[in-house]
C-alpha cells in the first residue's frame, strides 16, 4: 500500500468548504492507502495568537475528523507540535535552503503585498517546516489543494538538495490533487472561507446553522416566477450533498415557478441536518468526553514518532551530527 501524508491547519470552525474540499477525501483515502494525517498546529501558530482559541481549534479539528469517520486504526492521526522531530528536521533543512527559494513562494509574496499576515520569520520559513513534515515520513503522495502545489514543489527541491549534499535519503513525493476541486460557494457567492465570513459551519448549533443558511444571498426573482437553478448558491450547495435524482427534482421546482428561495433554503437546511446528523451527534458526544480525542492523538503521536524518529536519526547520521 502506498503511503500518503497530509496536514491540516487548525484555524477555526469546520465548514462545508473544508468538508467537501479536503476532509471527505482524507477520510475516503484510508481505504486504499497507508495514511498519516496530522494537525498542523505549528503552522497555525503563524496566525493564531490566542491560546484559548488555539486549544479549541486543535480539539475541534480532531473531533470533526473523528466524528466524520476517520478511523484511528487505519489512519495515524497526530499532532505536529507533539513531535520535536518536525522542528528539528526543519532547522537542518533550513541550513541547505536558499532565501531565494522561499522568496518566490506565492503565500509569502501575498502576505507581504496584502499585509493580511505579519511578515514573521516563521511565516517566511513555513514551507521548510512543511517540507520537514512531509520528508520525515517519506510518503509517495501528498494530498493537498491546488493552493499547496507550490509548497510540494519546494519540498521536492529541498529533498533534491539534501540528497545531492548528503547522499540519497528522501524519495521525492508527488502532490495528489483531486480533479473534482469544485469551488464551494459561501453564503455571499465568493469561495467559502473563514476569512470572508461566509461559511456554513457543519457542527454549529441548529439555530446558528439555520441563520447561516437563511442568510445565503439570492436574487430578487419573485416567488411565482421560474428561476435559474444554475445561478443560485442555494441550489449549488444542495447539489453538492444531494443525489443526482434529488438534484434534478429541485431543478425542476426552480424552473416551474411558484417555488421561493425560502423554500429552497429549508430543503438545503434539512439536507445538511440529514447528511451530517450522525456526525453532529458524535461530535457532541466527543465534546463531553475530550479524553477520547486526546487519547486518540496520543496514540497517533506515538505511532508517528516511530517513523519520524527513525528518519531524523538517519539524517543526523548522514550530516555528521551523530558521533558513534
Q: Does 133 bind ligand TRP (CB under 6 A)?
A: yes
Task: Please report where in the chains the cell 488555539 appears, as a residue.
Answer: 54
**Contact status: 271 vs ligand TRP (CB under 6 A):** no
* Residue showing the smallest CB distance to ligand TRP in the complex: 7
User: Residue 44 Cβ, how far from ligand TRP at the closest point, in Å?
Assistant: 9
Question: Does residue 86 touch ligand TRP according to CB under 6 A?
Answer: no
By the rule CB under 6 A, 44 interacts with ligand TRP: no
The Cα 6–Cα 175 span in angstroms is: 10
Which residue in the set 27, 37, 40, 269 belongs to the binding site for ligand TRP (CB under 6 A)? 40
Q: Which of 64, 128, 134, 237 touches ligand TRP by CB under 6 A? A: 134
List the grid coordinates of 323: 558521533
CA distance 208 to 28: 28
Rule CB under 6 A: say whether 264 interacts with ligand TRP: no
Q: Using CB under 6 A, pick the residue from 30, 130, 187, 236 that binds ligand TRP.
A: 130
Please answer whether residues 161 and 168 qualify as being in contact, where contact means their C-beta atoms are separated by less than 8 angstroms: no
Output the CA torsion 159→162→167→171 (10° steps). -10
Report the residue from 15, 43, 253, 265 that binds ligand TRP according to the rule CB under 6 A: 43
- Under the binding rule (CB under 6 A), the answer on residue 142 touching ligand TRP is yes
Q: How far is CA 252 from CA 39, 235, 264, 265, in A?
A: 43, 11, 12, 16
In angstroms, the CA 23 to CA 294 distance is 19
Least CB distance from residue 276 to ligand TRP, whole Å?
22
In whole angstroms, the minimum distance from the beta carbon of 131 to ligand TRP comes to: 8
Instruction: Please report how the helices 149-166 and 290-318 are oriented relative to each other, as an axis angle in degrees rounded to 10.
Output: 40
Helix (H, G, I), strand (E, B) or coil at 15: strand
Q: Which residues bind ligand TRP (CB under 6 A)?
A: 6-7, 9, 40, 43, 130, 133-134, 142, 144, 148, 151
Amino acid at each position: 500500500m502506498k503511503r500518503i501524508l497530509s496536514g491540516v491547519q487548525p484555524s477555526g470552525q469546520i465548514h462545508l468548504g473544508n468538508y467537501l474540499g479536503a476532509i471527505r477525501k482524507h477520510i475516503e483515502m484510508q481505504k486504499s492507502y497507508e495514511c498519516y494525517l496530522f494537525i498542523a498546529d505549528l503552522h497555525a501558530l503563524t496566525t493564531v495568537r490566542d491560546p484559548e482559541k488555539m486549544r479549541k481549534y486543535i480539539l475541534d479539528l480532531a473531533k470533526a475528523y473523528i466524528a466524520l469517520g476517520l478511523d484511528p486504526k487505519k489512519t495515524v492521526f497526530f499532532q505536529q507540535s507533539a513531535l520535536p522531530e518536525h522542528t528539528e528536521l526543519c532547522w537542518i533543512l533550513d541550513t541547505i535552503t536558499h532565501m531565494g527559494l522561499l522568496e518566490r513562494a506565492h503565500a509569502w509574496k501575498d502576505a507581504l503585498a496584502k499585509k493580511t499576515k505579519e511578515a514573521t520569520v516563521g511565516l517566511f520559513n513555513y514551507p521548510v517546516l512543511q517540507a520537514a513534515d512531509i520528508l520525515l515520513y517519506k510518503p509517495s503522495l501528498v494530498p493537498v489543494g491546488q493552493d499547496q502545489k507550490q509548497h510540494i514543489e519546494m519540498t521536492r527541491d529541498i529533498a533534491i538538495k539534501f540528497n545531492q549534499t548528503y547522499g540519497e535519503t528522501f524519495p521525492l513525493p508527488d502532490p495528489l490533487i483531486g480533479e473534482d476541486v469544485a469551488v464551494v460557494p459561501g453564503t455571499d457567492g465568493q469561495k467559502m472561507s473563514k476569512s470572508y465570513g461566509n461559511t456554513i459551519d457543519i457542527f454549529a448549533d441548529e439555530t446558528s446553522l439555520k441563520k447561516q443558511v437563511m442568510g445565503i444571498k439570492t436574487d430578487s426573482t419573485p416567488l411565482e416566477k421560474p428561476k435559474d437553478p444554475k445561478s443560485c448558491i442555494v441550489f449549488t450547495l444542495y447539489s453538492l450533498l444531494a443525489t443526482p435524482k434529488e438534484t434534478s427534482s429541485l431543478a425542476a421546482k426552480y424552473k416551474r415557478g411558484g417555488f421561493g428561495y425560502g423554500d429552497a433554503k429549508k430543503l438545503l437546511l434539512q439536507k445538511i441536518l440529514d447528511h451530517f446528523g450522525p456526525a453532529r451527534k458524535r461530535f457532541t458526544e466527543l465534546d463531553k468526553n475530550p479524553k477520547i480525542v486526546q487519547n486518540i492523538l496520543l496514540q497517533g503521536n506515538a505511532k508517528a514518532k516511530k517513523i519520524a524518529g527513525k528518519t531524523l536519526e538517519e539524517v543526523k547520521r548522514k550530516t555528521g551530527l551523530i558521533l558513534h
